[in-house]
A and B are shown apart, each in its own frame.
Chain A
Amino acid sequence: MKKITGKPPTDDQAWKEDKQKIPDTKLPAALTEKMQMLKPYLEKSHDIISRPFYLEGKPPLEAVSIYINKVIDDEDLNQHILRPLMLNCKRDSIKELGSKNLIDAIYQTSITLTKISKANTLPSLVQNIFDGMTVLMFDGLEEVLVIDMHGGEFRAIDTPPAEQTMRGSREGFIERLDINIALIRRRLRDPKLVVEKTMVGRRSRTQVAVLYIEDIADPQIVTEVKKRINEIDIDGISASGFIEQFIEDNPYSIFPQVYATERPDRMEPLLLEGRIGIIVDNTPLALAVPALFVQFIQASEDYYERTLFSSYIRLMRYAALIIAIFLPAMYIALLSYQPELLPYDLLINFSKSRMAVPFPVVIEAFVMEIIIQLVIEAGLRLPNQIAQTVGVVSGIILGQAAISAKIASPSVILVISLSIICTYALPSTSMVLAVRFLRLPMMFLAATFGVFGLSCGWIIIQAHLISLDSMGVPYFAPLAPIRFGDLKDAFYRTFFWKMNQRPMSIPMQDRKRQGNTGGGSNNSAG
């Protein structure tokens, strides 16, 4: 008997793939035949517009422009293609202009757009249409013109909502790949900045750009990144998060191993430090690899404010990280297993505050943690105005009601609230999610083994962090392996004029960052 497996038969898979393929045939010269060939592919797509027109001349040449509605800029189409071709086309003067053939003459003399290519096969024609290109087909010509005039409606460049700064740029990435690349280019005018585009998604054909500085980034890592992206075999991706999950080294880890930012001014220094940027079309978040753990605690603002304040804030963030993960767990461990470790007066206060609560500390803390997590989740999905109301209701009314109803003690509300505040003090959204998740197992360990369990949890987290890699680079560097030079920008940020070398934790070709030897009047090239 044939064994039945969950997988579809191989033949069936191949049949499906074959069906999707377009016959690789040359385009005919007659316009009607070309339209006939295209018909099966376009007839069910009502958003694809075919606009017939005649080129000026004797006799007038019949032509058709095909494009996806609202993907291109209508104004550009009228101004730079239709108007010149219909009114000013100089197709009679091919020889005078030295053009090889008619189609060259048309785009060289009459079309004022720049990104133009030619196609002469059916697959390339169909694919270009669905890639959002404008296609011009002419009667009697086998070749067609493919014009990139992406435009239409898109979100304007705006302040990045999740990474706002007081002193930094107000520009954030948007959903348009080319604009996002331009935002980087405007900041990094180095001719060595390489932008390589590729496509991901068999059906979505999403454009992905890989950016790196040629003489800084490590070629092996660049190759590895490109290899991992090119190996992605998926029908479609809708955000950079897809790419992140395909290329990360350890998908089972809760820690983010790819750095995501919505700020071009954050991406720029990352590229300068030898990292590789990945920008995905239709996503306002760019990715950077290799990523280090310390990177997720650093914010753009750290580099815009003065050194001492930035270092102070960064230390606060590390404290916030510890509090966010361990405070509720520590509360459970101390109140349920090792109360002797608390100062006496605090112990009595905690004891008094818990007197009326009928649940054990563990249940009380878990219930409050879950309620607060649900409130956050509710707030994220709601419109801003309602989310604010939910926040106020949960923060003040729910907390107060829980205390009045003697379901929770004031101390547990304080502890959980403090841990939530500390969670959101972290600058990286990915790290925020990791911390939110990590809190629960820590609480479980504390509830089961007390402070001892908490210590074990701490050791497990550290061991896990040390074992992680990002594109083959140790994730917990510069702490493990220790790179003393890089500690200048880990727990604190030293003066810029002391950061002469690029981070050792990231493999790269050019280590020297600058030649300054001192701040202020002492500054001179060394």
Chain B
Amino acid sequence: MAKKWLLVFIIVVQLISLSGCWDYKDIDKLDFPAAGAYDLHQASKTADTNQEEEEQTVDLTTIIPNISENVKEPFRIETTSGLTIGNAREPKVYSDPGTYSPGVSGVIIFGEDLAASTGLKNVVESLSRAPQTPKTQEFTIAEGRGESILRVPIKDYPSMADYIEGLLRQSHQRGFIPDATLHEFKTNIAPGKNPIMPLLTIKGEKVEVAGAAIFKKGRMIGKANLNETPILMMLRGIKSTGNIPFIIKKDGKMFDKGSVDIKNSRKVKVERNGDDFTFQITIILEGSLAEHQTDKLFTKNEDLRKMIEDQIAADVTEDSKKFIKKMQEEYQVDCIDISKYALAKWRKELKDKVDEDFIGDVNIKVEVKMKLNNVGELT
């Protein structure tokens, strides 16, 4: 019996050391940010300050809903500054009686300056260290400052946080735009891998998706526009769906034009001949005809289906080659996530150089297989 009580005592002591009523906090006394934006502090950006990189400070902007029914404004936007992410949260205790609970924010926007200068490794380290932070937090990059995005007035949504969350989800599912979470970012800074993130911009008085931000490990090094991003997604093998247009010409004249709703996948093979590496990327597209603007019937034009398939495959192949060329020459970073295949086979030899100039020297071949499943006619 004494042993039993001793065991109970040990368990209780261990329990108390892990958690306890001192961690108690009532939900209505907390401030829950709907979205947060991290930017390089304005003063740090000016050359006059002559700050070293490690001395640069960070601005944290948050949208916090006003819970009380007596407050007219549905939310408030606050910006605080600090040397680090955690330090930037600290001033909130002097200006807000609610306990700040950063873990619930669904979207984090990083300013372009911060992402391109100091990079996001430290930010991500700070976020992922807190156990309260969900690893599914959506990451995105803002052209300009993230704060500016959050401060854009919005009418049709409860707050900019709701708008961006919906926008990112929708554009990823139906528009060949990448999504990035805290977990994905962390896994994509491993050897042989590099993250990409959706890119937001302000057009007029509206926030829109502008493409994808390309990273070399934690630092942003380039942008892909809305034309390049679908190709980047296909080459990278991120499954998505979207609409792709086509124009078929015959004897120099337009024969048919339209668009196809497609979904993508990819296969990668890697071969080695001495120090020469050859990657064979096969992009597999499947979809159905969304529209075509001529009155040609598939029943009477048996080749039409194949012509559309071939045209789309040729278009995607051409765009892919252009993007690969740009990647190898301009970015010089593997943003299409193929180095991992070589690394899997020859890790010992490649682990030290795979993140250096490896991708610029390899031979990358692309083959596109397009299959039109439905055309809307009984053929």
Interface residues in chain A, defined as those with a beta carbon under 8 Å from any beta carbon in chain B? 335-340, 342, 344, 347-348, 350-352, 354-355, 357, 360-362, 447-450, 452-453, 456
Closest 7 CB pairs of A and B: A340-B103, A354-B28, A340-B132, A335-B27, A452-B19, A449-B19, A351-B27
Q: Is B133 an interface position by the 8 A CB rule?
A: yes
Specify which of A336, A351, A357, A448 is in contact with B67 (CB 8 Å cutoff).
Answer: A351
| 8 A–B contacts, CB within 8 A, in A order | A336-B26, A338-B132, A340-B132, A342-B104, A352-B67, A447-B24, A452-B15, A452-B18
| Residues of chain B contacted by A452 (CB below 8 angstroms) | 15, 18-19
Chain A residues with Cβ below 8 Å from B295 are: none
Say yes or no: A352 contacts B69, CB within 8 Å: yes
The answer for the CA separation of A448 and B15 in the assembled complex, in Å, is: 10
In the bound assembly, the distance between CA atoms of A340 and B30 in angstroms comes to 11
**Besides A355-B67, A452-B19, 15 other CB < 8 A contacts?**
A336-B25, A337-B25, A339-B27, A339-B101, A340-B103, A344-B34, A348-B32, A348-B67, A351-B27, A354-B26, A355-B28, A447-B24, A448-B20, A449-B18, A450-B24
Known: A339-B32, A340-B134. A361 touches B23 (CB 8 A): no
- Bound CA–CA A344/B33 (angstroms): 9
Contacts of B15 in A (CB 8 A): 449, 452-453, 456
Residues of chain B within 8 A (CB-CB) of A336 are 24-27
Query: What mask results when residues 1 to 45 of chain B are scored 1 for a CB within 8 Å of chain A, else 0?
Result: 000000000010001001111011111101010100000000000
In Å, the complex CA distance between A355 and B70 comes to: 11
Assuming the contacts A339-B101, A344-B104, A347-B32, asked whether A354 and B19 have C-beta atoms less than 8 A apart, the reply is: no
B195 at the binding interface (Cβ < 8 Å):
no
A338 to chain B, nearest CB (A): 7
Tell me the minimal C-beta distance from B27 to chain A in angstroms. Answer: 4
Q: How far is the CA of A452 from the CA of B15 in the complex (A)?
A: 8
| A347 with B23: CB separation less than 8 A | no
Q: Is B237 engaged at the interface, CB distance under 8 Å to the other chain? A: no
Q: With A344-B104, A344-B106, A352-B67 as given contacts, are A447 and B27 in contact (CB-CB < 8 Å)? A: no
Whether the Cβ atoms of A450 and B23 lie closer than 8 Å is yes
- Please classify how large the interface on chain B is, using the bins under 10, 10 to 19, 20 to 34, 35 or more: 20 to 34
Which DSSP category, helix, strand, loop or mixed, fits chain B's interface? loop
Judge whether B67 and A340 touch: CB under 8 Å. Answer: no
- Minimal beta-carbon separation of A310 from chain B (angstroms): 38
A477 to chain B, nearest CB (A): 24
Residue of B nearest to A360 (CB): B26
CB within 8 Å: A-B pair count: 73
How far is it, in angstroms, between the C-alpha of A351 and the C-alpha of B26 when the chains are bound?
9
Residue from the list A351, A362, A453 in contact with B32, Cβ < 8 A: A351
Residues from chain A with a CB closer than 8 A to the CB of B30 are 339, 351
**Quick check: is B68 within 8 A (CB to CB) of the other chain?**
yes
Q: Tell me the chain B residues, 165-196 only, with Cβ under 8 Å from chain A.
A: none
Residue B82 CB within 8 A of the other chain: no
Closest-CB distance, B30 to chain A (whole angstroms): 6
Question: Would you call B65 an interface residue if the criterion is a C-beta within 8 Å of the partner chain's C-beta atoms?
Answer: yes
The answer to whether B28 touches A450, judged by C-beta atoms less than 8 angstroms apart, is no
Residues of B within 8 A of A361 (CB): 26-27
Q: How far is the CB of B114 from chain A (nearest CB, A)?
A: 24
A347 neighbours in B (Cβ, 8 Å):
27, 32, 104
Known interface pairs A449-B20, A456-B15; A340-B104 also in contact (CB < 8 Å): yes
Provide the residues of chain B in CB contact with A450, threshold 8 Å. 19, 23-24
In Å, the complex CA distance between A348 and B24 comes to 18
Q: Tell whether, in the assembled complex, residue B19 and residue A453 are in contact, meaning their CB atoms are under 8 Å apart.
A: yes
Q: What's the Cα separation between A456 and B11 when bound, in Å?
A: 10
Could you say which residues of chain A place their CB within 8 Å of the CB of B18?
449, 452
CA distance A502 to B364 in the complex (A): 65
Given A344-B104, A352-B69, A355-B69, CB of A337 within 8 Å of CB of B32? no
Residues of A within 8 A of B132 (CB): 338, 340
Please measure, in the bound complex, the distance between the C-alpha atom of A342 and the C-alpha atom of B101, giving whole angstroms: 13
CB A443 to nearest CB in B, in angstroms, measures: 13
Shortest Cβ gap from A250 to chain B (Å) = 14
CA distance A450 to B16 in the complex (A): 11
Closest to B106 in A: A344
A427–B11 CA distance with the chains assembled, in angstroms? 35
CA distance A456 to B67 in the complex (A): 33
Q: How far is the CB of A147 from chain B (nearest CB, A)?
A: 55
Residues of A within 8 A of B24 (CB): 336-337, 360, 362, 447, 450
Residues of B within 8 A of A354 (CB): 26-28
The smallest C-beta distance from A487 to any residue of chain B, in angstroms, reads: 31
Bound CA span A340–B106, Å: 10
Say whether, besides A354-B28, A355-B28, A337 and B19 are in contact (CB < 8 Å). Answer: yes
